Structure 1
């Protein structure tokens, strides 16, 4: 057993523990703290999914278009205060820090920056982002990378991302998307509460999104007649997107250059890019690689015909464990309505100079001889399967290593002009083998690669099946003669299967991008509305806890940097994340049973002159004074206070109800809040938390070091929800440990020799964990107390 020293750090020491500095990388693909040479594990959260939709007028995907200005105010929306107003930032950031996260994947959309029209940037929103990033840096201990987020191209196609004028530039008419089957929208569903979850995946292959992605990545190849402002639509769209992102990054650099030396890590390329129609072998058939078919699912030619107002009978699908299965058919009749603009009113509105050979009111693919829009006849079923110039066959691998890489090269070149040292993070299509970047001029020592991973069965069926799952990646990679051989039985084997899939994806990244390129799982997570939302009525979160623990086991065991999906300050039990019935947020306001945080934050804001946003210490001090006036029990012995009582009270607040309120709302906290190595003198071999036994094991290889000084300890986050101060033991095979503890920071420093091979640390809780579930407010409070979250 290690000689465990306990220390309550002063505010100055606390600040030094939370310091961020611009990161480097090593030859093993780890992020490295330059001043000490210690490896840094990015343990992050997507912040926040509420940023997909405008704040003013306030919108969610279930709100009726006419009531929220969905179409009528598309050009004048504002994303200022997304994900939340600045005076609420400290509450949310404190909660995230207390969960142990040290990284934020900052979600924003193209629409947020350039919604009014081409090259018209929302300066208020950009300034808001800069101010929020400053607050994140002030709080400390949080790295940030930007995520230009999109799902299904745009909210007008059933997702989020691009502004409405991009669709008009492509000649499309968003007002007619629903009636022509170009997409399915939650806000037009007759019963929004019964909207088909995950239908956005099918929307990707429908006319609206498929057309936009085809044009964005391959317009010069497939739509050479689509010339606008003397550019092919491909260059037009890419240039505007890249310039919008560059405007935001440049603004951050100009207004807060110090962030580039501390918390600002870099920017991702584009969330979940799609190839559109590229590579489809036969437009009259469903593509073999189309992962999900839900509800009525048009084939490509059917989408094109409906887009020109023609009636089509579509196959209807439902999902089973082994993929989509046909269950019937449904006729869709647009009755002559078109998904294409029929006049030049939008051209005049946005100032488009459209080439005279690009006819409005006519399907762009019909204009290129793919089909006859008058007879409906398909003329070139393999149009997107062969390069029209070279004649070579086209597939996903070809797309990733040509069209996608061309976009990446352009994106990379533009961002490098802004800053040579920020990390540029490339994200290829989801679950596909990454592009072959190794030894090319498209990768450098400031490049990282992002991948996404979700457990397919949990995602689709919204339940945690302890008995059976499938090896999704193995099936996609063709490892099984029949998908039935990809079945995994038993919870232990399911957990190991998820871990193997992540390790395989990590290997693919290293093999294609190089060993020195860091890998980030920039999205992964578990739905919380499992078992038909049973937990929301009876408080039994055992399914959610087991599912999230399994995912975390895979992430910890594969030693991957990650950012969990997601944090949403507006999550609620009825509508989840307010986006297409998704419910992934680790936090929900319906899980907060105190009201003190509401008036605490408001009181902080009201106390400031001229509406200025308070500093972190001001917020925490004001919050403390307000919360101390509320009636709440005094919890924990007064002897817990150290010599720096006054400083800690200023920093953290003297009343435990404030801290309990901040942490409240975290769902399945035992699985979400977990120990992990923050700074490592060596390379992590394995990291594993056992929820049932209350043990944490960490093994590191000290021989794989990077200019490591033995004076800088390995640092492990040790949350008191698992290991309460004075009620756990630490065992190490080498060195000594010191526990830096207060209710905001729980860090274990491990001082050990370097270059001595593999060494191990083990932490064992001495507490008997409360085994009941969160069935009521009082039981939830008791659980927080018994787990040490409230002192």
Structure 2
């Protein structure tokens, strides 16, 4: 399929024919974080084979591509956020790229074009690497900075499922590996060390050099080198729009006081505290050196509607150091602090991570800005037209800072948004929904949707800080499908094939997409995992997450394109894919099937407006009324084409036939 190339005009994606394009896509896929076939967190591992792993087969073997691409196209998606990892490309060692994997990945991109998918490449990471409880960076980087990866989990420097989980028990294990606990690794010392070195090694570890260059330059050069290897193989594909900068980057300890523990809003840090361990950088450095440390634990208090400190936890009771023989943390070498031989310590600069000389550091301006520039320069040396899909820390959209002043041109705001409580607790009810950032409680679906619109609207307004205005594409949004104790899985196992067990999921997704429609912003839902399983130990194969809109073990009829889909009525819905003019208003009522779309026509655009009209929402057909244009309905291809001949407002109304 010959896809017209896309470019940016203000807040819109625009195709070669002059039409505004709304991208509604999906992340492909959740298991791309782990090696194929048995590298998922549902398999025990000590990571000792980290140089020999392969990611060929993630997100699926090439022989399955037609099946999965056909399904995603039938569900109306027109865009893919296609995942890879730094580890997938350079796991063997520095500059030793996996050519077979790179060829496989390029073939996936070519096949995606055949099915009409635009895509951008996402170099994915979560909490740095698999060895630190997530995914992303190759293991040999720990050796380069002086860390023994085999001691990271044992010391408590990271919270790793493969270290904690009892595989003989299976299922949920809140006593050993609590639900969604992986994200707290961002506060633990292994992440603190690696992220600080990655973004700011020149400032905070000037003495740490690898192969003759500062650690920051070494790490960035290798990250960009892995990206270039993929870029070279897909440079001429018109469906490849560009690259994500880096999934959910973290500041490490940059900007933090060495000894400060955030227990609640203060004058210097007015943000609400999050549940979990309240680490200070000093706590992390001490634990990394084998010092046992008592850390405050914050638990959510329903009465206070906030996370409060009621207990402590001892970390690293066995006193295990993560530093290899003869190595030490470079921040001690740089004069931030000192661990004495008798176990005591001295702090020389509590503001060590907050100031460089006389300058107070700003993570977004001082480090994310130059990083965006480096990634943009890197990919545009291969293809000058590529778009940068830029991400800040995932909380930035909620808390409000804009993009760096020197964000490169041709950049999209690709931040992530979730209903945090639904994601963290895997529960949802429209009749009782907490906003963890404000403490407010919604007691009706309309209130939940209004909150979603406020939060997503804040993300969209951030785009105004990108070169005077840029598109918003919510790079991740979605829900866990093991909601409310995985009751839908039990119903499916018992033989219920109706939508009834999936009503909470359908409602949650519907409210999310209603908000996206209201704001007319783009999105790629998290996620589609071809290997997904309903087993609570497995899910999408990574840390018991299960946000996949497809599950292989729910596929009861291989001839039915929808078989295996979950809560389809929540996200398979009509939308304006390409508009011959400027979109003004889009709304869909899932219950009645009424779709109402208004745009300001621009007859100068060379192609007509296209609306996705899914059979799933209109099983007996539909009726379409157009004011200001002429409609051609093609239900076989799930499309409505609207032709206009003069400027002015055009309104399209689609409703179900009885």
Please give the TM-score of this superposition, normalised by the length of structure 1.
0.76
What secondary structure does 1:365 align onto?
Answer: helix
| Whole-angstrom distance in 1 between the partners of 2:117 and 2:47 | 37
Cα offset for 1:706?
A: 8.5
Partner of 1:578: 541
Cα offset for 1:204?
A: 0.4
| Whole-angstrom distance in 1 between the partners of 2:274 and 2:323 | 25
Cα offset for 1:372?
A: 2.2
- Correspondence list, 1:32-43, <5 A: 32-34=14-16, 36-43=17-24
Preserved contact between residue 26 and residue 526 of structure 2 (Cα < 8 Å) = yes
| Whole-angstrom distance in 2 between the partners of 1:332 and 1:385 | 23
Partner of 2:408: 443
Preserved contact between residue 182 and residue 208 of structure 1 (Cα < 8 Å) = yes
Partner of 2:643: 751
What secondary structure does 2:187 align onto?
Answer: coil
1:266 aligns with 2:242: yes
Partner of 1:614: none
Quick one: which of 227, 241, 256 aligns to 2:223? 241
Cα offset for 1:589?
A: 1.3
Quick one: which of 436, 459, 476 aligns to 1:523? 476
Quick one: which of 321, 325, 345 aligns to 1:377? 345
Preserved contact between residue 615 and residue 635 of structure 2 (Cα < 8 Å) = no
| Whole-angstrom distance in 1 between the partners of 2:256 and 2:52 | 37
Cα distance change of structure 1 residues 289 and 535 upon mapping to structure 2, 3 Å threshold: farther
Cα offset for 1:74?
A: 0.5
Preserved contact between residue 402 and residue 462 of structure 2 (Cα < 8 Å) = no
Cα offset for 1:737?
A: 1.0
Quick one: which of 568, 573, 592 aligns to 1:674? 573
Cα displacement string for residues 616-637 of structure 1 (whole angstroms, at most 9, x for unaligned residues):
xxxxxxxxxxxxxxxxxxxxxx
Cα displacement string for residues 71-104 of structure 1 (whole angstroms, at most 9, x for unaligned residues):
2210111111111110011111011001000101
Cα offset for 1:731?
A: 2.0
Cα displacement string for residues 462-501 of structure 1 (whole angstroms, at most 9, x for unaligned residues):
12221243556xx4xxxxxxx34x4444210210220122
What secondary structure does 1:763 align onto?
Answer: strand
- Correspondence list, 1:75-224, <5 A: 75-138=51-114, 140-191=115-166, 193-194=172-173, 195-224=177-206
Preserved contact between residue 306 and residue 334 of structure 1 (Cα < 8 Å) = no
Cα distance change of structure 1 residues 562 and 113 upon mapping to structure 2, 3 Å threshold: same
| Whole-angstrom distance in 1 between the partners of 2:646 and 2:179 | 51
CA RMSD of aligned residues (A): 2.1
1:308 aligns with 2:289: yes
Partner of 1:62: 42
Q: Runs in 1 of length 4+ with deviation above 4 angstroms? A: 287-297, 433-438
Preserved contact between residue 437 and residue 514 of structure 1 (Cα < 8 Å) = no
Partner of 2:465: 511
Whose radius of gyration is greater, 1 or 2?
A: 1
What secondary structure does 1:81 align onto?
Answer: coil
| Whole-angstrom distance in 2 between the partners of 1:300 and 1:733 | 62
Cα distance change of structure 1 residues 165 and 90 upon mapping to structure 2, 3 Å threshold: same
Cα offset for 1:457?
A: 1.7
Preserved contact between residue 401 and residue 435 of structure 1 (Cα < 8 Å) = no
Partner of 1:632: none
- Correspondence list, 1:417-436, <5 A: 417-432=381-396, 433=400, 435-436=402-403
What secondary structure does 2:584 align onto?
Answer: strand
What secondary structure does 2:262 align onto?
Answer: coil
Preserved contact between residue 179 and residue 425 of structure 2 (Cα < 8 Å) = no
1:592 aligns with 2:560: no
Preserved contact between residue 459 and residue 527 of structure 1 (Cα < 8 Å) = yes
Cα offset for 1:152?
A: 0.4
Cα offset for 1:290?
A: 7.9
Partner of 1:393: 360
Cα offset for 1:175?
A: 0.5
Partner of 2:253: 277
Partner of 1:52: 33
Partner of 1:713: 608
Preserved contact between residue 259 and residue 280 of structure 2 (Cα < 8 Å) = yes
Partner of 1:565: 526
| Whole-angstrom distance in 1 between the partners of 2:327 and 2:56 | 36
Partner of 1:362: 328
Cα displacement string for residues 700-743 of structure 1 (whole angstroms, at most 9, x for unaligned residues):
122xx49424xx32110000111135x3221222222111132x
Cα offset for 1:173?
A: 1.3
What secondary structure does 2:339 align onto?
Answer: coil
Q: Which has the higher helix share?
A: 1
Partner of 1:332: 315
1:547 aligns with 2:501: no
Cα offset for 1:753?
A: 3.6
**Where do 5+ consecutive residues of structure 1 fail to align?**
1-17, 343-359, 476-482, 598-657, 768-791
Cα offset for 1:282?
A: 4.3
Cα distance change of structure 1 residues 182 and 136 upon mapping to structure 2, 3 Å threshold: same
Aligned length: 629
- Correspondence list, 1:20-35, <5 A: 20-26=3-9, 28-34=10-16
| Whole-angstrom distance in 2 between the partners of 1:420 and 1:708 | 25
| Whole-angstrom distance in 2 between the partners of 1:512 and 1:414 | 19
Cα offset for 1:128?
A: 0.6
Cα displacement string for residues 130-173 of structure 1 (whole angstroms, at most 9, x for unaligned residues):
111121122x3110110000000101110100000112212111
Partner of 1:778: none
1:497 aligns with 2:460: no
What secondary structure does 1:549 align onto?
Answer: helix
